[in-house]
Amino acid sequence: MGDVARVHAALRGYEAEGTFGEEDYLALRRLVTGVGRVDATLLDGFIGLFFERHIHDDARRGELIALSHAELEKAVRHRFKQVVAGGQDSHQAWHALSAHVRDALGALAGPGSSGYPSSLSNRQGFSAIAVEQAVAAVWSELRRKPSAKEATQELFSRYVSAALPIESSNSAIREFPAVIGARLDAQRLARGIISVLSDDEKDLMRAQLDGQAIDLWAAERGVSRATAYRLLARIKALCRVEFDERTNRTRLEVLDALRNQL
């Protein structure tokens, strides 16, 4: 299946089920690569804005679905170019923030304990002190020193995206690039976890996510309590490995994805 056909199918899938898989996202990424001469470090952010405005929005998604493959390719590339052209404020803000983030990473000796500041800005622009505190909070959340790109992406999502002017949407919920990224990451992790589980382990995980007591599951499944707890221990060990160094937001997204995929 070509990228245009995959994106077309993904739009219909999102319309029907609200899912947009990793391979769908990569097809969309290839479709718009090179449009608007977007810096590679900013491409995923602009795709996220495109997703929010033209795929998450019900009316605009419907317009794209109704097009032929050839019309869809032209429309997606044209609309993405418009998103890029209108995103100069985002572009400038990203680069300004990333410079402060690099300085903060060079100055910090370790993670912080005071949490995220309420704002990153003062009357002159970004506050170096506030950015340093926020980067320290990212470090603490990740439980490792973040890269400059990781920290900038997190802070841009938390503080900058919501403050920038965006087009109105008919959708009830608005999702920003970092949220979309976390959801795609969660879908990938969920598929990886499920792929290595036995049928009994899948059934037990489904029961646990539904809040069923393990003793009741064991009785209904006809296995001993010892076997049930052994299976549960393996599931927890696997999830612990997969969840390591993931944000709490991504972990919650994984649980939702697991519920949908089991």
How would you write the pLDDT of the chain (262 residues) with one tens digit per residue?
799 999 999 999 888 887 787 788 889 989 999 887 777 766 777 787 788 788 878 889 999 999 999 999 999 999 998 887 766 556 677 778 888 999 999 999 999 888 899 888 876 678 889 999 999 999 999 899 999 888 988 888 888 765 554 443 333 333 444 556 666 667 777 888 888 889 899 999 988 887 888 999 999 989 898 999 999 998 888 888 777 767 666 676 677 777 767 7
Give Cα 174 distance to the centre of its chain: 13
Residue ranges of alpha helices (H) inside the chain are: 3-17, 22-32, 43-50, 58-65, 69-85, 88-107, 128-142, 148-155, 177-195, 199-209, 214-221, 225-243, 248-261
CATH entry 1.10.10 includes domain 177-261: yes
